[in-house]
């Protein structure tokens, strides 16, 4: 998880799914179903990458050379 002090909200999932996840993470480094689900969701919705103006110019030039943009 990112920050210990993050505000949290409850999300309801079916008990059957909770039990499947609990079974799947047994014996792994995950300490809870919540920890596993949070990791999966963070991977699904990563933070937006912010590029500097210089980095954007480099990316545009590479895309132009590859023929993706004019």
For residue 3, being part of any structural domain is answered with: no
Percent of the chain with pLDDT over 70: 93
- 21 closest CA partner among 36, 41, 40: 36
Distance CA 37, CA 17 (A): 11
Distance CA 28, CA 31 (A): 8
Domain region containing 27: 15-66
Q: What is the mean pLDDT of the chain?
A: 91
Q: What is the pLDDT of residues 28-55, one digit of tens each?
A: 999 999 999 999 999 999 888 889 999 9
Residue 31: burial class (beta carbons within 10 Å; 0-12, 13-18, 19+): exposed
Q: Number of folded domains in the chain?
A: 1
Decide: 22 and 33 in contact? Cβ < 8 Å.
yes
For residue 42, being part of any structural domain is answered with: yes
pTM over 0.75: no
pLDDT reading at 60 higher than 60: yes
């Amino acid at each position: 998880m990112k920050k210990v002090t993050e505000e949290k909200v409850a999300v309801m999932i079916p008990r059957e799914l909770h039990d499947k996840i609990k079974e799947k993470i047994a014996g792994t480094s995950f300490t809870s179903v919540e920890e596993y689900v949070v990791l999966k969701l963070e991977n699904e919705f990563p933070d937006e990458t912010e590029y500097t103006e210089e980095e954007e110019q480099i990316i545009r030039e590479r895309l132009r050379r590859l023929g993706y943009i004019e």
